[in-house]
Chain A
Amino acid sequence: MTDEADNNGYQLSFVPKEAGTLQVTLAGNWKIHHSLPSSSELENELSQHPEIQRITFDTDAMADWDSALLTFLVQLGELAKEKNIQLDQTALPEGVQRLLKLATEVPERKGAKRTASADPFLARVGNKATAAAGSATEALTFIGDATLSLLRLLRGTAQFRFQDLTLTIQQTGAQALGIVALISFLVGLILAYIGAAQLRQFGATIYVADLVGLGMARAMGAMMTGIIMAGRTGAAFAAQLGTMQVNEEVDALETMGISSMDFLVLPRMLALIIMLPLLCLYSDLFGILGGLFVSITVFDLGAIEYLNQTQKSLSITDFTVGLINAAIYGVLIAIAGCYHGIKCGRSSAAVGTATTSAVVSSILLIVVATAFLTVIYDVLGI
């Protein structure tokens, strides 16, 4: 291969022959490293000479070829078929002829090709609305099934393995202690810092103990724990169950007559219902410690003073409120995580989507639930 041939790449020219025949001269190097010839030149040529009924080839001056030539010839072939022009392939290299035959042997399957359709705006809005209604129904069905599963457990007829529950408890509870402690400590610290800075102006610094204690026990303990667990465990459940869907493991359970709700969702739901209140208490403790730390280092309160004040301001009701919230968050996180996991599509990208949706849904549900619960507690006067 000489340098000039490399630089020049391919050469394409048309030589009209006797009546109605066009000779396509292919010369040079038809390789994909150079450039891919397009059939537009040929199209122009054919439209200028509509009387052409036959195409022949001249490949004497052709050096090297690869898929670039094949692609061009396939396009040419389609063009010729459209215009009912006969192709005489005899002058083409044998290898090319064989490959062209192979490429056209299995006809395109009818109905397989997908066309990109651009629906009008109203149609898209309509489609999205019906899809949203559909997924709302699915979600409600899932919640219903989960409730039935819980009832089956209470009756002792659930297809449930105790070892799955203990394993999930360990993963969701025991392994979360570190991060819950750290974040709760810092939240308590932040609450105390902001609160005390204001209270100091009124000489009421001691009441920071109330602020941190009530804040953590009633709201922040449960909420911070809920959000941590939504990100940590909600995502984990969605990813686990989503991957199981992709691998047909959920199908395998169903065909064995084992309810995937009982086997997969129930242990996860129970584990969170048990662990979230416990973690909430744990979080309350560390939050109060965080407040204590700031109060004695920055705001010159005494440790005993702070703890006494905390004890005076808190009642069992406050802790109960936090624990009830936490239990409810547990249910919500488990349902969101498992629902998105089981609903997952059959590809790895779908697992990512399921995980994201699970975390976002969990956090949204937690905040909405908190809003409702706060109003209810207010009405009940708790």
Chain B
Amino acid sequence: MAEPQIAQTNTEPDAHIEVRDLTMAYGSFVVQRDLTFTIRREDIFIIMGDSGCGKSTLLRHMIGLMRPAKGRVLYEDKDFWAATPEARKTFMRNFGMSYQSGAMWSSMTLSENIGVPLGEYTDLSASEIREIAKLKLSLVGLSGFEDYYPSEISGGMLKRAGLARAMALDPDILFFDEPSAGLDPLSSRLLDDLILELRDSLGATVVVVTHELASIFTIGNNGVFLDAEKKTMTATGDPKKLRDEATDPKLHAFLTRGEL
């Protein structure tokens, strides 16, 4: 089996999340196998690959929604899946997850949606929660839509609202599943700026599943490429270095959009 290409990133050894020999499967159908990579603190880590290669599935394994068929996921050297469900819940409270379709709770307004984690995990008053929700919504460009229901806003706005909710508790780790899909180029750029800002000001580690090359090169400083055919990873490291030094033709084609 060909060794995955590893592009050298800067040498800080501060590993935040580690994935070791992870194999993901639905029953007997293997999606990806032998995934090993490290995400350091304050990395913006991009999970890349062809459509259907298992990027969203990888994300689900990392945030506690699917158990690995084999392998481990470590958060600050603690084995996530070996822990009890209560311990896992404690881990999960430090995650912020933004879903592909927003996954907003349809029976609550946007403000109430953001208020749920705030109400659960802080002792803030209702009006304080409302103020914070308003702030988060304005950060994603949805000022004024606090009292709208998810069914009353467009798909792109839903995505941004989902992001606002993921940021509600200023989490250590943010997971984004295709954040720019369906957004116009300008919104996509604003989103990139927002992600960079979150990393710089909050010190968050960000894991992003995305196809957008512009975003990948703008914000990504570490990543992994999953090959759908070989069902394993073929490279890990800084996307820009991978593009310049890529030996695997598929990876090269992906990162240059097929240009030679």
Question: Residues 228-248 of chain A: 1 if any B CB is under 8 Å from the residue's CB, otherwise 0?
Answer: 000000000000100110011
- B116 CB contacts on chain A under 8 angstroms: 256, 258
Question: Residues 112-134 of chain B: 1 if any A CB is under 8 Å from the residue's CB, otherwise 0?
Answer: 00001101110000000000000
Q: Which of B97, B105, B120 interacts with A159 by CB under 8 Å?
A: B120
Asked whether B104 lies within 8 Å of A249 as measured between CB atoms, the reply is yes
Chain B contacts with A in 182-241, Cβ cutoff 8 A: 228-229
B182 to chain A, nearest CB (A): 16
**Nearest-CB residue, chain B, relative to A240:** B107
Chain B contacts with A in 72-128, Cβ cutoff 8 A: 89-90, 92-93, 95, 97, 99, 101, 103-107, 116-117, 119-121
Asked whether A254 lies within 8 Å of B65 as measured between CB atoms, the reply is yes
**Nearest-CB residue, chain B, relative to A252:** B103
Asked whether B106 lies within 8 Å of A257 as measured between CB atoms, the reply is no
A244 to B105 Cα, complex, angstroms = 8
Q: Which of A111, A247, A257, A258 interacts with B101 by CB under 8 Å?
A: A247
- B97 CB contacts on chain A under 8 angstroms: 252, 255-256
Asked whether A257 lies within 8 Å of B89 as measured between CB atoms, the reply is yes
Question: Residues 97-140 of chain A: 1 if any B CB is under 8 Å from the residue's CB, otherwise 0?
Answer: 00000000000011100000000000000000000000000000
**How many residues on the B side are at the interface (Cβ–Cβ under 8 A)?**
25
Asked whether A252 lies within 8 Å of B99 as measured between CB atoms, the reply is yes
Asked whether A248 lies within 8 Å of B90 as measured between CB atoms, the reply is no
- B63 CB contacts on chain A under 8 angstroms: 255
Asked whether A255 lies within 8 Å of B65 as measured between CB atoms, the reply is yes
Question: Residues 248-286 of chain A: 1 if any B CB is under 8 Å from the residue's CB, otherwise 0?
Answer: 110111111111000000000000000000000000000
Asked whether B103 lies within 8 Å of A247 as measured between CB atoms, the reply is yes
- A247 CB contacts on chain B under 8 angstroms: 101, 103, 106
Asked whether B101 lies within 8 Å of A248 as measured between CB atoms, the reply is yes
Asked whether A251 lies within 8 Å of B106 as measured between CB atoms, the reply is no
- B229 CB contacts on chain A under 8 angstroms: 109-110
If A256-B92, A257-B90 touch, whether A249 touches B64 (CB-CB below 8 Å) is no
- B119 CB contacts on chain A under 8 angstroms: 161
A255 to B106 Cα, complex, angstroms = 17
Asked whether B103 lies within 8 Å of A251 as measured between CB atoms, the reply is yes
Task: Give chain A's interface secondary structure class.
Answer: loop
B155 to chain A, nearest CB (A): 13
- A255 CB contacts on chain B under 8 angstroms: 63-65, 92, 95, 97
A332 to chain B, nearest CB (A): 24
A131 to chain B, nearest CB (A): 13
B118 to chain A, nearest CB (A): 11
- A251 CB contacts on chain B under 8 angstroms: 65, 99, 103
Asked whether B95 lies within 8 Å of A252 as measured between CB atoms, the reply is no
A158 to chain B, nearest CB (A): 11
**Nearest-CB residue, chain A, relative to B52:** A109
B64 to chain A, nearest CB (A): 6
Asked whether A111 lies within 8 Å of B29 as measured between CB atoms, the reply is yes
Chain B contacts with A in 39-91, Cβ cutoff 8 A: 63-65, 89-90
A64 to chain B, nearest CB (A): 34
A339 to chain B, nearest CB (A): 19
Asked whether B99 lies within 8 Å of A248 as measured between CB atoms, the reply is yes
Asked whether B105 lies within 8 Å of A252 as measured between CB atoms, the reply is yes
A76 to B117 Cα, complex, angstroms = 60
Asked whether B105 lies within 8 Å of A249 as measured between CB atoms, the reply is yes
A109-B228, A256-B93, A257-B90 given. 19 additional CB < 8 A pairs? A247-B103, A247-B106, A248-B103, A249-B103, A249-B104, A252-B97, A252-B104, A253-B105, A254-B64, A254-B65, A255-B64, A255-B92, A256-B92, A256-B95, A256-B97, A256-B116, A257-B121, A258-B117, A258-B120
List the interface of chain A (C-beta within 8 A of B).
109-111, 159, 161, 240, 243-244, 247-249, 251-259
Q: Which 5 A-B pairs have the closest CB atoms?
A: A248-B103, A257-B93, A252-B103, A257-B92, A255-B97
A selection of 21 A-B contacts at a CB cut-off of 8 Å is A111-B29, A247-B106, A248-B99, A249-B106, A251-B99, A252-B99, A252-B103, A252-B105, A254-B64, A254-B65, A255-B95, A256-B93, A256-B95, A256-B117, A256-B120, A257-B120, A257-B121, A258-B116, A258-B117, A258-B120, A259-B89
